[in-house]
Structure 1
Amino acid sequence: MRTTATILLAGLLLAGPAAAQDTNTGTAATQPESVEFVAKQQENQDLMSRFLGTPVVNPEGETLGKVNDMALNTAGQVEVIVIGVGGFLGVGEKNVGVPYDALARQAGEEGQTQLVLDATQGDLTDAPEYLTSDNQSLSLTKRLRERAGELTEEAKETYEKAKERVMEEAEQLNQ
């Protein structure tokens, strides 16, 4: 009995690591042996936080908006710059997505970095709103609610017309 318990315990100990599977890939979970920490920013590197709020201007110097966000691809590279356009103090502002490659950097007033986009204010105003994955589902919900409201109004109108017709026919029958 004691030998059987020892064999079962040894089997469980050996099976433990095999059971620790990564549920996403189906492979054994592995931990890096060591992490190489980075002590300082290199000259060829930019911090994303530095770009948030950066003015975006056109080649004529007209302010188009400011950087509100950035979208990274799976390799960690910036693909889209999200520019806040219009509004006043953030109210009524919409986000417009622009490919990172469409922008150029230049030094603005007082050496502050600016991003230059070859577009007009009208181009950005007319551009579609950039929807994050979270906003896409909210946008769908909003559209469905709006459509439900439209259908409710149509149903009310149809009901009122039908009610009027029934009342008219009832009056004719009573005469």
Structure 2
Amino acid sequence: MDHSAHPRLTDAELTQDILAGATVYGPGDQKIGHIDHLHGAGPSAQVIIDVGGFLGIGAKPVRIPLSELDAMRDESGTVHAVTSWSKEALKDLPEHRD
């Protein structure tokens, strides 16, 4: 998928309500997980991504700064995000616990 033409979300749109459930893509357009929730809002928020697993079962929650994601909408309006993190690199992070 070519993400370059997708409109980026504004800082005001970087909220739990808009981002929760969004698919996260890594290098090579590999689907690496889904956004579970945020701590905070806007560009300084921390995002919790469920990585791996199948249909949400066995996924590992990890935390990265929202600034390391590029959040956008595709042609149909579906919110998703792109990051330079690979699935393997995210899986190596410590498990996030609320």
TM-score normalized with structure 1 length:
0.44
Please say which structure displays the higher CA radius of gyration: 1
Alignment-derived partner of residue 7 in structure 2: none
Name the CA shift for 1:112/1:126 in 2 (closer, same or farther; >3 Å): same
Name the structure with the higher strand share.
2
What is the aligned-residue identity percentage? 26
Unaligned runs of 5+ in 1: 1-42, 133-175
Q: CA deviation at 1:59?
A: 4.0
Quote how far apart the aligned CAs of 1:108 are. 3.4
Note closer, same or farther for the CA distance 1:129–1:53 as it changes in structure 2 (3 Å cut): same
Structure 2 counterpart of 1:114, one-letter code = H
State how far apart, in whole Å, the 2-side matches of 1:84 and 1:66 are: 5
* 1:48 partnered with 2:16: yes
Bigger RCO (CA 8 Å, 6+ sep): 2
Counterpart position of 2:89: 123
Please give the root-mean-square deviation of Cα atoms over the aligned residues, in Å.
Answer: 2.1
The unaligned stretches of length 5 or more in structure 2 are 1-9
TM-score by length of 2: 0.75
- After superposing on structure 2, the runs of 4+ consecutive aligned residues of structure 1 that deviate more than 6 Å are none
Of Structure 1 and Structure 2, which has the larger fraction of its residues in helix?
1
Equivalent of residue 72 in structure 2, options 106, 114, 119: 106
